[in-house]
């Protein structure tokens, strides 16, 4: 090997390695910095209320009493509603786009789905206020109330604003994410596996049910977790439709509040240190929830994805 080019290669290599090393390190730095701020700025709240802050059910800035449970409840329930609506819808989209749609249609529709993910959150919020909320008030809630009113979930006056509207708007927002990832997952199912099933005399649906979906199950699970993660942290659109009242009610028709939404709402108006630190503490809890979710997701995906040894992927 020529000496000069070897040296140049070596120097470039060291510089490049140093750069990527720093880039990777900066990521760890950012996470630690965020965590430090969350812990530091929430000190006041946690010393005053202790870990009971997470379980307190009253959030009352006027009297200086802060409990995060209604926010945690609102965050988790609105996200679960979103997932319950978005997951079947997204799977339907992904299956249609990879298995059933005519080939010329697949590209444009996939593009449209991905475009939906690029619409800013506040625009979804506006649409929610002007279209979704009136529709929920005039159609969805009355129908659910009369059909399933025997369940506490669907009792109460139809406001339009509230937990249900937040869940629906979140569902619309995470559908592009879940369906785009699921689509990639289903595209990766080897043709040979599907052909084998079809060649046995299976219909399209049987092939999807018995081969395609089982093959993609860990990826679909990953897609769902990704969507759930996005729903948990979504702020703007939720704030605009959820009603912003920190309370725990069994009815999905009631107003509610999420962690992300209350921070956005009250941060600029927090008039004392305790209120401010309570908001940061709520943020800390959100951080922990998403962290736990991702750890759980890792474990689940790892369990489900234990692909048999020697599987050849094509």
Partner 1 sequence: MNVKLLVEEFSAWYGKNQAVKDVTLPVPLHQVTAIIGPSGCGKSTLIRCLNRLHELLPGTRTKGRVMLDGQDIYSDNMDLAELRHRIGMVFQKPNPFSTMSIFNNVAAGVRVNGLRPGTKMEDIVEKSLRMAALWDEVKDRLHESPYNLSGGQQQRLCIARALAVEPEVLLMDEPCSALDPASTLKVEELIADLKSRYTILMVTHNMQQAARVADYTAFFLNGQMIEYGLTTEIFTNPKDKRTEDYISGRFG
* 211 counts as binding partner 1 under rule CB under 8 A: yes
* Smallest gap from residue 314 Cβ to partner 1 (A): 9
* 105 counts as binding partner 1 under rule CB under 8 A: no
Residues numbered 167-206 forming contacts with partner 1, rule: CB under 8 A: 190-203, 206
* 57 counts as binding partner 1 under rule CB under 8 A: no
Q: Crossing angle for the helix pair 163-187 and 217-233, nearest 10 degrees?
A: 150
* 31 counts as binding partner 1 under rule CB under 8 A: no
* 210 counts as binding partner 1 under rule CB under 8 A: yes
* Smallest gap from residue 199 Cβ to partner 1 (A): 4
240 with 125: CB under 8 angstroms?
yes
* Smallest gap from residue 190 Cβ to partner 1 (A): 8
254 with 162: CB under 8 angstroms?
yes
Q: Tell me, what DSSP letter sits at residue 308? A: P
* Smallest gap from residue 102 Cβ to partner 1 (A): 8
Residues numbered 212-231 forming contacts with partner 1, rule: CB under 8 A: 214-215, 217
When the beta carbons of 138 and 203 are compared against partner 1, the nearer one is: 203
Which string of DSSP letters, residue by residue, matches 168-218? HHHHHHHHHHHHHHHHHHHHTS-HHHHHHHHHTT--HHHHIIIIIHHHTHH
Residues numbered 65-104 forming contacts with partner 1, rule: CB under 8 A: 103
312: helix, strand or coil: coil
Query: Which window, 12-20, 126-134, 250-258, 301-309, contacts partner 1 (CB under 8 A)?
Result: 301-309
Calculate the CA dihedral of residues 292, 297, 299, 302 and round it to 10 degrees: -160
Angle at 175 between CA 97 and CA 245, to 5 degrees: 170
* 307 counts as binding partner 1 under rule CB under 8 A: yes
d(C-alpha 51, C-alpha 53), whole Å: 5
When the beta carbons of 207 and 257 are compared against partner 1, the nearer one is: 207
Residues that bind partner 1 (CB under 8 A): 103, 190-203, 206, 210-211, 214-215, 217, 307-311
């Amino acid at each position: 090997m020529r000496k000069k080019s070897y040296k140049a290669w070596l120097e470039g290599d060291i510089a490049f390695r140093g750069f990527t090393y720093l880039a990777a390190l900066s990521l760890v730095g950012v996470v630690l910095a965020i965590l430090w701020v969350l812990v530091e700025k929430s000190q006041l709240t946690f010393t005053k209320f202790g870990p009971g802050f997470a379980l307190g059910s009253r959030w009352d800035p006027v009297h200086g009493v802060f409990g995060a449970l209604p926010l945690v409840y609102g965050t988790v329930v609105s996200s679960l509603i979103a997932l319950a609506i978005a997951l079947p819808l997204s799977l339907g989209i992904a299956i249609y786009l990879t298995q059933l749609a005519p080939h010329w249609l697949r590209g444009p529709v996939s593009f449209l789905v991905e475009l939906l993910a690029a619409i800013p959150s506040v625009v979804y919020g506006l649409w929610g206020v002007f279209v979704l909320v009136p529709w929920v008030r005039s159609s969805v809630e009355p129908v659910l109330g009369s059909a399933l009113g025997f369940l506490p979930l669907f009792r109460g006056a139809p406001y339009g604003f509230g937990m249900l509207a937040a869940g629906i708007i979140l569902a619309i927002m995470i559908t592009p994410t879940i369906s785009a990832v699921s689509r990639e997952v289903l595209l990766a199912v080897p043709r040979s596996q599907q052909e084998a099933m079809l060649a046995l005399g299976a219909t399209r649906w049987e092939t999807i049910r018995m081969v395609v979906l089982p093959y993609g199950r860990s990826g679909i699970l990953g897609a769902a977790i990704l969507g759930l993660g996005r729903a948990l942290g979504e702020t703007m659109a939720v704030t605009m439709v959820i009603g912003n009242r920190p309370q725990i009610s069994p009815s999905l028709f009631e107003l509610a509040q999420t962690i992300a939404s209350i921070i956005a709402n009250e941060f600029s108006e927090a008039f004392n240190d305790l209120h401010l630190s309570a908001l940061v503490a709520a943020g800390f809890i959100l951080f922990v929830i998403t962290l736990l979710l991702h750890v759980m997701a890792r474990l689940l995906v790892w369990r489900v994805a234990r692909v048999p040894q020697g599987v050849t992927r094509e």
